[in-house]
């Protein structure tokens, strides 16, 4: 005999399947899936982290996974392959990649000045003692490399007057200075604050020099800008909203820093937030002078940099659309 489902049992079965389907769908955020890389591990990256933590990517129809990349060179390569369509990275790395023909461009400026500090081991208490010593950078050619070269130039030295080694993130470089495997590196908060507590030497505050320099940017690969402009449009809108969330809500900003920097030291968290919260503009345009400064540094190693135009390095369409629509101004007039 074949069993038959009675109406009540049938509806129960249908409702069960619907609830199961809803549970499965809700387990994964909705939206277009994509990866975003970041090659700078410091408080400077907080607006990106804030965008993720506030759910602003999802609000704009994007399911974004953040991926840490070891330096600007690795980030530039990831943009070329398309595995990571967007990245926060050093301006020098994406500009060098663009000059090489990648088509990768800057969508927004996150840090338009060099804010690094050159920190050295306790026995290196003068610039002259840097000669022949080992200095660590995140990657050769990235923002920490260009800042290190700038620091050496300030002291009347060339890049080859020291041995510059690719070491990786700020915490890795700080550990290498402390252990003595390198004698110095450039840092941003929170590493500068930790270095002070460790009694390391501060030879130069590059930020005090007032150098306009395109140090950190939001960049995109050629494919996503040309073939998926609406994705890029929604992405930049989310980033602009994330900058707003970070700048205007300190308690939220501190929670973000606590999670991603993996520290509960309130002094470090407070100083890091206070240092960065007003460094990123609500309208994060890169600067022409900042990009020209990067091209100037690259020109000694790359002849293409001498004749390059800053217009080839950027695509500000999406940021300008938001700005000219009045959206950013309205965002900051709306009380949180």
Determine the Cα–Cα distance for residues 157 and 159; give it in Å rounded to an integer.
Answer: 7
Q: Which residues contact 74 (CB under 8 A, 6 or more apart)?
A: 39, 139
CA dist 286 to 57, 114, 198, 247, 320, Å?
A: 22, 13, 35, 18, 12
Determine the Cα–Cα distance for residues 91 and 111; give it in Å rounded to an integer.
Answer: 9
Cβ–Cβ under 8 Å, residues 270 and 40:
no
Strands 201-205 and 117-120: antiparallel
HSE toward the beta carbon, residue 254, CA cutoff 13 A: 12
* Confidence grade of residue 1 (pLDDT, cut at 50, 70, 90): very low
The 201-205 sheet, strands edge to edge = 163-166, 134-137, 184-187, 117-120, 201-205
pLDDT single digits (tens) 202-240: 999 999 998 889 999 999 999 999 999 999 999 999 999
* Confidence grade of residue 30 (pLDDT, cut at 50, 70, 90): confident
Determine the Cα–Cα distance for residues 88 and 92; give it in Å rounded to an integer.
Answer: 12
The per-residue pLDDT for 336 is 60
pLDDT single digits (tens) 264-286: 999 999 999 999 998 899 999 99
Cβ–Cβ under 8 Å, residues 113 and 290:
yes
Domains located in the chain, CATH noted: 32-112+214-333 (3.40.190.10), 117-209 (3.40.190.10)
Q: Which residues contact 93 (CB under 8 A, 6 or more apart)?
A: 39, 71, 72, 73, 75, 76, 139, 141, 142, 143
Determine the Cα–Cα distance for residues 192 and 137; give it in Å rounded to an integer.
Answer: 15
pTM of the full structure: 0.83
Cβ–Cβ under 8 Å, residues 38 and 86:
no
Determine the Cα–Cα distance for residues 40 and 16; give it in Å rounded to an integer.
Answer: 47
Q: Count of residues for the chain?
A: 336
Is 13 a residue whose pLDDT tops 60? no
Q: What are phi and psi of 42, to 5 degrees?
A: -160, 180
* Confidence grade of residue 19 (pLDDT, cut at 50, 70, 90): very low
325 CB-contact burial (10 Å; exposed 0-12 / middle 13-18 / buried 19+)? exposed
């Amino acid at each position: 005999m074949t069993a038959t489902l009675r109406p009540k049992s049938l509806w129960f079965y249908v409702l069960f399947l619907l609830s199961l389907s809803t549970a499965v769908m809700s387990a994964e955020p909705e939206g277009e899936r994509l990866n975003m890389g970041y090659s700078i591990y410091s408080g400077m990256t907080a607006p990106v982290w804030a965008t993720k933590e506030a759910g602003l990517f999802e609000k704009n129809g994007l399911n974004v996974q953040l991926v840490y990349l070891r330096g600007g060179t690795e980030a530039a390569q990831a943009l070329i392959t398309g595995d990571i369509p967007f990245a926060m990275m050093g301006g020098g790395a994406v500009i060098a990649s663009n000059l090489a023909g990648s088509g990768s461009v800057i969508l927004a400026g996150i840090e338009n000045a060099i804010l690094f500090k050159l920190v050295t081991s306790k026995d290196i208490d003068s610039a002259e003692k840097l000669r022949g010593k080992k200095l660590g950078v995140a990657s050769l050619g990235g923002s920490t490399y260009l800042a290190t070269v700038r620091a050496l130039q300030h002291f009347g030295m060339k890049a080859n007057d020291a041995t510059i080694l690719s070491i990786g993130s700020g915490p890795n470089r700080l550990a290498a200075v402390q252990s003595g495997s390198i004698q110095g590196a450039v840092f941003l908060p929170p590493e500068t604050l930790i270095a002070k507590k460790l009694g390391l030497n501060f030879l130069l505050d590059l930020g005090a020099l007032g150098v306009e320099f395109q140090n950190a940017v939001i960049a995109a690969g050629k494919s996503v800008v040309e073939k998926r402009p609406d994705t890029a449009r929604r992405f930049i809108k989310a980033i602009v909203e994330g900058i707003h969330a970070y700048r205007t809500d300190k308690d939220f900003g501190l929670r973000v820093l606590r999670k991603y920097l993996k520290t509960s030291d309130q002094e470090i968290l407070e100083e890091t937030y206070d240092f960065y919260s007003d460094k990123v503009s609500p309208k994060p345009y890169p600067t022409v002078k900042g990009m020209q400064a990067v091209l100037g540094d690259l020109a000694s190693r790359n002849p293409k940099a001498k004749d390059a135009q800053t217009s080839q390095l950027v695509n500000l369409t999406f940021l300008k659309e938001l700005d000219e629509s009045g959206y950013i101004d309205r965002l900051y007039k709306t009380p949180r």
